[in-house]
């Protein structure tokens, strides 16, 4: 049994991570809804996306600022 690679398989592959990033930037869904769409837990998304929880709120704040400047 030497040299055997084990462990739990990852739930987020590169495709799912790209989809989650796109949905996060789009901003129409919450992180829980995005996690449900991708098939993982919200904590997995926060761990995998750059900035974690802080990054998701920064994206949302930037989106609101852009929307406000567009309507002014």
Q: Is the dihedral of CA 33, 35, 40, 44 positive or negative?
A: negative
pLDDT of residue 26: 83
Give the total number of structural domains in the chain: 1
Domain region containing 62: 14-71
Residue 9 located in a structural domain: no
pLDDT one digit per residue (tens) for the chain, 72 residues: 677 788 888 888 999 999 998 988 888 889 999 999 999 999 999 998 887 777 655 555 554 544 555 555
Residue 6: inside a domain, yes or no?
no
What pLDDT shows up at residue 58?
Answer: 52
**Residue 63 within a domain:** yes
d(CA 28, CA 48): 20
User: In angstroms, rounded to a whole number, what is the distance separating the alpha carbons of residues 19 and 2?
Assistant: 37
Reported for 52-58, long-range contacts at CB under 8 A and 24+ positions apart, including other chains, are 56/24, 56/31
Write down the pLDDT at residue 33. Answer: 93
Does 5 fall in a domain?
A: no
């Amino acid at each position: 049994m030497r040299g055997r690679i084990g462990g739990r398989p990852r739930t987020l592959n590169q495709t799912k991570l790209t989809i989650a990033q796109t949905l996060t930037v789009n901003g129409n869904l919450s992180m829980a809804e995005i996690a449900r769409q991708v098939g993982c837990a919200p904590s997995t998304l926060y761990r995998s996306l750059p900035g974690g929880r802080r990054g998701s709120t920064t994206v949302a704040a930037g989106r609101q600022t852009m929307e406000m400047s567009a309507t002014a």
